[in-house]
Structure 1
């Protein structure tokens, strides 16, 4: 009797794997086939894990109901799901359920996307040609590219140079996928995005797997559906934090999947961004890192030196003169300042109380009539007295973008100044735009030019205040992303910082600078040299959560090569434990984690 082990495409607890089913006489099955199976009084879809003979099958086994007319998963594709289940300490069924789009029950059609021509400047041609030479020489590489339009131009050039190849482009967000889609329609396009209906995602995925299109353009979901027939995978904006799914299971990283897929499938793989992550230097060989520094080179302004002659701490003497010159030439100014509100924090002058958020422990940002925690979005009325000592002398510390806007209006009377952040989007045709990162992620038209003659980072040091180990890398990336905009606009680029010497080593020798960063990470035992895991329970009963996590940590303690950190609790909300794991111990740790109850949320790449 032939028995099929089948993964139900169902959200199941991590301890469940494949289920046994009888194969009816005459039904031909192979590993990777999509089949219909009875499961818990309903009919669902499953994927065949393997087949084997059994002379005396267990009583009560149900039969496979039939095979779906869908191309089966290739060996590489199913191996990736199985590897991902192990790597994330999740069941393979749960991974398949998150990845495989629901098959539409009725006939639907994909929307027609109007094609647009992809135009580039003549000055960009040489950079694209050099990048193509790197692609021809290396089957995998990191390639620096100043902005998304040039990344798209490089992918299109690759398609022209390799007319038989089929590619996947992975993007950090649905907005980028929507903007880029028209430029790849002429090649034959499938689009997979979390914002599209599952039925349309299935049709797009099925079209690509059947060879009806050449380009699969998608967000994180597309990384779970990489087809074995693909010739090259491009990860655009590869350093973007949205390539990691952090808020729900499965908590996977697009970059890790792409690297594992390339290793198993032997396709080409290219990471594209304005600069590499330090991790990329540990991932790629030296000759596989392609970094260019085209104009404009950042002009770093030491705000400490210029403070005595500057009209405002965030408007240096140099910036003030550059803005005036730009306005005389009838060009606009974009000022980037990624701190919202009226002031960055509130502090009691009498006892030093800093008004921490009662929910997450973060710092409240001051607005006109309220204070807001931008970590957990808690909002409270603006305090009139200190809850600790009842003093009424409360000092607003630092500058929020609302205060900076007032300073710009005062310094340049008669000039229109607009503020654009998540909470407020004023007129984006003003002469001076003051923006946060929201402008680049959700507001700006990616292929449009805004007649900017000056782009300025008002405080490049802000990311350095983040306690995370990527703070220096993120500060550099913010500068490089803005430089890409300045290059597209052919604008002057000014970077204000209290210490230019922090940034200059990267522009003198980028690989040496990032290698130094890697050495520091190795010394402090952070990724990529160790892996950090997090075990978390959300529960209003704090004591119960504490006991469960302590039991889980005790089960890990006998293992070598791990460090378990103290329990952290937010009373009435959640408790968590962090664990650092050396590379040689990860398999043993993952095996232990796979047996833990689903009530414990596991992130096997908590810091990435």
Structure 2
């Protein structure tokens, strides 16, 4: 008998599997993880199918099982679907799922008996049996304040599941994983920051049944079909989507696919994103509705925090760097009465280049990070790109540019000189918090930087989601929230506390994206061509000729990739824009010749532009 095996290796598109001979006495079935000889080493792969014959001769034999793990056929179906959707090979997707594996793993069975006795070839697999107790009917995405810990929130819903159900919880931030796991006694954790062995122990122990609940970031999303129930924390957050190079995938898409297999899937958040909003309110063809709020499956909750907005004015900066005079008064009044914390998004000592007239901040065109002034040049602390200093603001044309945004180090120094006690946090540090001290004072020094300094079409949506999350945290713990912002944004953020006005903003945002042919109103395929501009032009011309029969599909480019590292070859970007209802198979039919070329693909990318 022959085992058709998908190796966990980064192979080019078109290299999908290899045939191996099955030694006598080794009983294998589809879904088994095995060790196979590949070149001069042993690699791990998954059995896709068992065949009677092969087109090849002198096949190498399968070495052995890997930890006696057998995955469900639904997981194999997810592997096929994600490879097709991400325009990647199956081995590359499997490699992204499994990562680096230990050489001597503990068997899932925990025993050394014959594998045929441990893992009978039945569906679903014995390593992940169906639950013995019935699961409740899943609900639409639940939007509610304090969505994790409220009586009807995520934690409460998890505790209501049958005691023998295997539960997977996906959260956008690694910092939340141990906090949720601690709340659910006996749960295990899985994040990308873990070493090889702890990560393997987490997911293999989940299959083995050592721990019934697994809390993971998107790195564990491939296990959705192995779970009985999947819970998604803050589905509106983009951190559920992979943003590295091929293959790129979205944990939310995997969960939706698992739901089609009958897996119980529920999501809990506070604010829908435009993508969810569009599916709920704007069936094809998209059209604005007069009352979009009422059309959502679940009402967007109103928020009522103790909120104070402070308009940023260049003449009202206080003696403490980064704080307006009114915010400093609030901070001084809190001394000795309530704990105080300041959220300040700017790193280091010096500030980023900023326009004093309109508030424009210089950002890196390569990675979107804020630029700092270094001598007579602008430099990026993240990717180390260097640019010439701007002579005028590209937004308003003003010439009043200065290093007017101090960093956290300077803010801490100023607070100490004034004998003011307050904790100062970055945005990342703040997102790690799950619980504020009761009645605390929270000061956000610049609302416009709450989601970073990069500018794209989703900036307002992300800002609304992040601000509502901050307001919800303050409301839950009776904290006073002081927000510094430019006058227009200070007025707008008050509207975001209203669920109905938030829905109206999302509807308007969706309509704007529809006009500019951007996701989610349209599907966008970003192509990265490695080579000369002439090569990119030829590839895009080929796509235009193949899409001639699709009048609604547009091909754009090429756009140069600027400020690339000296070690990286020349690259260009191309876009293929299709209506939202276009099937992936139709897009694949157009780009089929490019699948064999040296081209990277990203469907519905996080970064919309070059």
What band does the TM-score fall into relative to the shorter chain? 0.7 to 0.9
- 8 Å Cα contact 2:363-2:454 kept in structure 1: no
Aligned with residue 480 of structure 1, among 468, 480, 485: 468
Partner of 2:430: 440
Deviations 1:248-304 (A, max 9, x none): 33211211222222223x222233334221212234585643533344153444557
Partner of 1:9: 8
Task: Check 1:342–1:23 CA distance in 2 against 1; reply closer, same or farther (3 A cut).
Answer: closer
Partner of 2:122: none
1:569 aligns with 2:576: no
- 8 Å Cα contact 2:525-2:601 kept in structure 1: yes
Task: Check 1:75–1:342 CA distance in 2 against 1; reply closer, same or farther (3 A cut).
Answer: same
Aligned with residue 518 of structure 1, among 497, 510, 521: 510
Partner of 2:385: 378
Partner of 2:182: 182
Instruction: Please identify, of 135-144 and 354-363, the stretch whose mean Cα deviation from structure 2 is larger.
Output: 354-363
Task: Check 1:356–1:199 CA distance in 2 against 1; reply closer, same or farther (3 A cut).
Answer: closer
Instruction: Please identify, of 254-263 and 86-95, the stretch whose mean Cα deviation from structure 2 is larger.
Output: 254-263
Report the CA distance between 1:147 and its aligned residue.
7.1
State the secondary structure of the residue aligned to 1:169: strand
Q: Matches of residues 256-405 of structure 1 in structure 2 within 5 Å?
A: 256-264=253-261, 266-283=262-279, 286=295, 288-296=297-305, 298-303=307-312, 315=323, 318-327=326-335, 329=337, 331-338=339-346, 342-345=350-353, 364-366=371-373, 371-374=378-381, 376-378=383-385, 396-397=401-402, 399-402=404-407
Distance across 2 between alignment mates of 1:234 and 1:492: 31
Distance across 2 between alignment mates of 1:520 and 1:199: 47
Partner of 2:211: 213
State the secondary structure of the residue aligned to 2:582: helix
Q: Matches of residues 117-266 of structure 1 in structure 2 within 5 Å?
A: 138-146=138-146, 154-156=154-156, 158-160=158-160, 162-184=162-184, 186=185, 188-228=186-226, 230-264=227-261, 266=262
Structure richer in helix, relative to its length: 1
Task: Check 1:200–1:252 CA distance in 2 against 1; reply closer, same or farther (3 A cut).
Answer: same
Distance across 1 between alignment mates of 2:401 and 2:280: 46
Task: Check 1:577–1:34 CA distance in 2 against 1; reply closer, same or farther (3 A cut).
Answer: same
Distance across 2 between alignment mates of 1:375 and 1:197: 24
Instruction: Please identify, of 365-374 and 594-603, the stretch whose mean Cα deviation from structure 2 is larger.
Output: 365-374
State the secondary structure of the residue aligned to 1:174: coil
Task: Check 1:299–1:165 CA distance in 2 against 1; reply closer, same or farther (3 A cut).
Answer: farther
- 8 Å Cα contact 2:558-2:573 kept in structure 1: yes
Partner of 2:118: none
Distance across 2 between alignment mates of 1:269 and 1:170: 11
Partner of 2:577: 580
Distance across 2 between alignment mates of 1:454 and 1:197: 38
Distance across 1 between alignment mates of 2:315 and 2:40: 77
Report the CA distance between 1:91 and its aligned residue.
0.6
Report the CA distance between 1:315 and its aligned residue.
4.7
Q: Matches of residues 89-100 of structure 1 in structure 2 within 5 Å?
A: 89-100=87-98
Task: Check 1:434–1:105 CA distance in 2 against 1; reply closer, same or farther (3 A cut).
Answer: closer
Instruction: Please identify, of 26-35 and 282-291, the stretch whose mean Cα deviation from structure 2 is larger.
Output: 282-291
Distance across 2 between alignment mates of 1:587 and 1:64: 34
Distance across 1 between alignment mates of 2:383 and 2:260: 39
Distance across 2 between alignment mates of 1:31 and 1:517: 46
Deviations 1:475-495 (A, max 9, x none): 212322322342354221233
Distance across 2 between alignment mates of 1:357 and 1:294: 35
Report the CA distance between 1:20 and its aligned residue.
3.0
Task: Check 1:48–1:408 CA distance in 2 against 1; reply closer, same or farther (3 A cut).
Answer: closer
Report the CA distance between 1:470 and its aligned residue.
1.0
Structure 2: give runs of 5+ residues left out of the alignment. 109-134, 282-294, 356-360, 392-398, 563-568
Deviations 1:523-563 (A, max 9, x none): 3222112222222245xxxxx43233223323322222432
- 8 Å Cα contact 1:342-1:367 kept in structure 2: no
Report the CA distance between 1:436 and its aligned residue.
3.1
Structure 1: give runs of 5+ residues left out of the alignment. 111-134, 348-353, 387-393, 417-430, 539-543
Report the CA distance between 1:85 and its aligned residue.
0.5
* TM-score, structure 2 as length reference: 0.75
Q: Matches of residues 462-481 of structure 1 in structure 2 within 5 Å?
A: 462=449, 466-481=454-469
Aligned length, in residue pairs: 542
- 8 Å Cα contact 1:556-1:589 kept in structure 2: no
Instruction: Please identify, of 12-21 and 90-99, the stretch whose mean Cα deviation from structure 2 is larger.
Output: 12-21
Report the CA distance between 1:86 and its aligned residue.
0.5
Report the CA distance between 1:235 and its aligned residue.
1.9
Task: Check 1:238–1:483 CA distance in 2 against 1; reply closer, same or farther (3 A cut).
Answer: same
Partner of 2:127: none
- 8 Å Cα contact 1:338-1:435 kept in structure 2: no
1:547 aligns with 2:542: no
Distance across 1 between alignment mates of 2:257 and 2:160: 27
Q: Matches of residues 487-502 of structure 1 in structure 2 within 5 Å?
A: 487-497=475-485, 498-499=487-488, 500-502=490-492
- 8 Å Cα contact 1:166-1:215 kept in structure 2: yes
- 8 Å Cα contact 1:342-1:368 kept in structure 2: no
State the secondary structure of the residue aligned to 2:202: helix
Partner of 2:39: 40
Distance across 2 between alignment mates of 1:238 and 1:356: 28
Distance across 1 between alignment mates of 2:407 and 2:42: 57
Deviations 1:289-334 (A, max 9, x none): 3533344153444557xx8878699755653443343236354242
- 8 Å Cα contact 2:339-2:437 kept in structure 1: no
- 8 Å Cα contact 1:233-1:258 kept in structure 2: yes
- 8 Å Cα contact 1:314-1:404 kept in structure 2: no
Deviations 1:125-145 (A, max 9, x none): xxxxxxxxxx96743414334
Report the CA distance between 1:502 and its aligned residue.
2.7
Partner of 1:507: 497
Partner of 2:602: 603
Task: Check 1:369–1:449 CA distance in 2 against 1; reply closer, same or farther (3 A cut).
Answer: farther
1:86 aligns with 2:73: no
